[in-house]
Amino acid sequence: MSPILWLIVILVLALLALAVLRTRSMARQAERLVPQVGQIQTVRGGSVHYIETGARDAPPVVLIHGLSGQLQHFTYAIADLLADEFRVIAVDRPGCGYSRRDSDDLATPTEQARMIGEALDALGIERPVLVGHSLGGAVALTMALERPEKTGALALLCPATQDQTEVPEVFRGLQIKSPWLRRLIGNTIAVPLAAATKDKVLAIVFAPEPCPEDFMIRGGAVLGMRPQAFVAASADVVGMQSDAARVSARYAAELTVPGGILYGAADAILSPAAHGHTMQAHGLDYETLEARGHMIPITAPADCADFIRRMAARAR
């Protein structure tokens, strides 16, 4: 190898080493800013981090966040609004926040539904209202299909319900099928790039509404500045694509749990018509909030809490 090529190799390795060190520093800072707040329930293939509030003898509500999120999307406001009436359990989906999954194969909605279901069984949570936002809606729907006798009702917020060939543009960088490549990118360049582009990305995700200034801490978004968050989100995107067609094909014959869907009418991430309106054919109510976007758990918590109460009243 020529001296010039050797120099290029050394420079590349040096830059990667610097990126690894920078990533580790940012991850430690993120965990100092938003530390673990709840308990850990071990399940097959990993563990589920959760927080619980409200009365233990009240009807249970389980809150499941979306892609690149964590339970703080619900503790931001909705959990407190429900705590006087319900036993409220907010979870980090397996692989997200402070939950864990042992392999990327467990990122499909079917496997995440199983893992969260096992955690609920271990905690003695019976027939909860499942509240799922975005990708969390796909997980909640899968739980309703797999565990209809253990699910009281569905209250889905801007859920992903259908198979779709194209990933929303803002998330296309996560569409990486190779587990080792996910980890290489996640441990080197993904976190610094996420920090550099976070304002632009959050503006797209929240559009047409503004992202609150306290979302990075109060909403837990700073936990996305960790390599495991990038790996989990990438695996979630691929897992959703591999599972969505099979799961959605089951709605017509197997979806028997009552409930409904609430969408921001101006959602720029998922189509309300494709993912919300179509579910009326399968027995779910469909409602919209005018001038609201995809992040209604943060931007319209009172409307979401009212919707959850009304769906809980329909629980079998």
Higher pLDDT, 168 or 85: 85
Predicted local distance difference test score (pLDDT) of residue 6: 67
* Beta-carbon contacts of residue 229 (< 8 Å; ≥ 6 apart): 68, 96, 223
Q: Is the pLDDT of residue 11 over 90?
A: no
Confirm if 121 and 62 have CB atoms less than 8 A apart: no
pLDDT band (50, 70, 90) for residue 279: very high
Q: What's the pLDDT at 47?
A: 98
Beta bridge partners of 47: 42, 100
Helices 109-122 and 227-248: crossing angle, nearest 10°? 100
State pLDDT tens for residues 203-215.
999 999 999 999 9
Termini Cα distance of the chain:
71
Taking only the tens place, the pLDDT of each residue in 101-140 is 999 999 999 999 999 999 999 999 999 999 999 999 999 9
Domains, the chain, with CATH or none: 19-312 (3.40.50.1820)
Residue length of the chain: 316
pLDDT at 165: 76
DSSP element (H, E) containing 24:
helix 3-33
Report pTM.
Answer: 0.95
In the predicted structure, residue 285 carries a pLDDT above the cut 80: yes
Percent of all residues in the chain with a pLDDT value above 70, rounded to a whole number: 95
Res. 15: pLDDT tops 80: no
Q: How many CB atoms lie within 10 A of CB 57?
A: 7
Tell me, what's the pLDDT at 164?
Answer: 81
Query: Is residue 311 scored above 90 in pLDDT?
Result: yes
pLDDT digits (tens, 9 = 90+) for 22-79: 888 989 999 999 999 999 999 999 999 999 999 889 999 999 999 999 999 999 999 9
Q: Which residues pair with 246 in a beta bridge?
A: none
